[in-house]
Amino acid sequence: FVPFHNWLPDAHPSAPSHVSGVMSGVMIKTGIYGILRTLTFIGTPSKLVAYSVLLISVISALYGVLYAITQHDLKRLLAYHSIENIGIIGIGLGTGMLGLAYHNATVALLGFAGGILHILNHSIFKELLFLSAGSVYLKTHTKDVEILGGLIKSMPQTGILFLIGSIAICGLPPFNGFISEILVYFGMFKGLAINNFFVVLTLIFGISALALVGTMAILCFSKAFSIIFLGSPRSEIAENVQCDNDKFITIPMMFLALLTLIIGVLPQHIFGLIQKPVSVVTGGNLAILSTEPLELLQTLSLYALAFILFVVVLIELKLFLTKNKIKKYETWGCGYNKPNSHMQYTASSYASPFLSALKPLFKKVFDIEKPRKLFPKSAHFSLHIDDIEEAYLIDPIVKGDEWFLSKFESLQSGNLQSYIKCGLIFLLIVV
C-alpha cells in the first residue's frame, strides 16, 4: 500500500522473472493475509477502520496504475501494477468491512468475496505476465520497451500469452480479472442502499476510482503490448530475435492462461474455493447470495469468448482464402519515401496526451539535446519520471540522515585505543 510501496518497483527489475512471479503472486499477499487474520480476532471492525482501509486502497490503486503508465522498464511497469492490484484487493476488503460495520451481510459477503477472489486471480495473471516478460528478456536481454517492437513475428506464443494476461489484468471478459472486479463493483453498488450519507459518498468515490483504475490499466497495457510486440523493430536487438519455441518456457505460461480462462467462464465452480475464507471473516455463507450475478458474469464471459473465437475463425478463413494471392508493399508513410521505425509511436508519446493533464502528480527529469543547424549531427530526448513520494518525502529524509551520521565518521578511525576509549566512556555513562 502507498506510502510503503517504494521497495517493490526496485525489487522486481533486480529479481529473475520467475522469482518476480512468486514475489508478486504470493509474497506481497502476506500483508493482505495479515489484515484478514486480524479481522478474525477483532470480529466486527470499527467504521473508522473500514473507511481507512477503503481510502488507503483507493489511493494505492490509483497511484500504482498512474505510475505504471509512465514506466519504460517492463518489470517496473508490472511492479507498479502489483501496487494497483493490492489496492483493488483492499477496495474489496474495505467494502466488506463497511458491510460488517453497518451490519449489511450482502455487502460484506460481496466485498470479501471479490477481494479474496482477486488475491487468487492476481497470483495467476501476474505470474503469467512476469513469465512473459522473462521470455522477452531471455531473447532480447533488455527490459526497455522503447527499443523493442515487432516481436509478435518472432515470438508469437509469448505475444499471445502476454495479451491474454493483459486482458485479464485490465478486468475484461472472458478472463478471471473480470469476475473478481465485478464482484467488488456489486458489493459497492449494494452498499449504496445503506441509509448513511458518508457510506454512500465513500462508495460513489470508490466506484468512480475503480472505474478510472480500469481505464488507465487498459491504456497502460495497450501501450505495453503494442510497443513491445506490434509495429517494426526499433533496434537491432528486436530485429534479430529468435523464435520462442522452447516448450519449457511456454507450457507453464499456457497453463496459467488456461486458468485465467477457466475462472472467467466458470465462476460458480470457483466460488467453492473462496467459500471458507469468506465465511471465516464474515461469519456468513456465500450460499445466501443470489446466483443471478454469477450467471450474468458467466454469460458475459461466454459471449466475449464466442466473439473472440468468431474473430479468430474469420481471420483464419481470410488467410486460407487469400493464400498465395497476397502482395506485400511498403506501408504508406504519409509521403515519406523512406519510412522507418522512428516514425512509430514510442511508449512516451503514446501515453503523453493523458499524462500531460496530470503534471503536478509527477517529477519529470528531462535529458534533451536539441537539433542544431540544418543537418544536425546529433540530437536526443529522454524523459524519466521519478516517484513523487520518493522524490519529495523519502529522499530528503535519507539525505538528512546521511548528513547527520556523517558528523560521526571521525569515530570510525580504525584506531583500537579510540574504540576502547569510546567503550569505557559509554560504560561510565551507563553506570
- Global pTM reads 0.87
Residue 286 pLDDT exceeds 80: no
Rounded to an integer, the average pLDDT of 31-37 is: 92
Residue 334 pLDDT exceeds 80: no
Q: Give 291-328 pLDDT, tens digit per residue.
A: 667 778 888 888 888 998 999 899 889 888 887 777 77
Give dist(CA 194, CA 107) in Å, integer: 9
Residue 246 pLDDT exceeds 90: no
Q: How confident is the model at residue 98 (pLDDT cuts 50, 70, 90)?
A: very high
pLDDT at 213: 95
Residue with cell 483464419: 316
pLDDT at 320: 84
Rounded to an integer, the average pLDDT of 16-29 is: 91
Q: Give 262-282 pLDDT, tens digit per residue.
A: 998 888 888 888 888 888 888
pLDDT at 62: 94
Q: Give 173-221 pLDDT, tens digit per residue.
A: 889 999 999 999 999 999 998 888 999 999 999 999 999 999 999 999 9
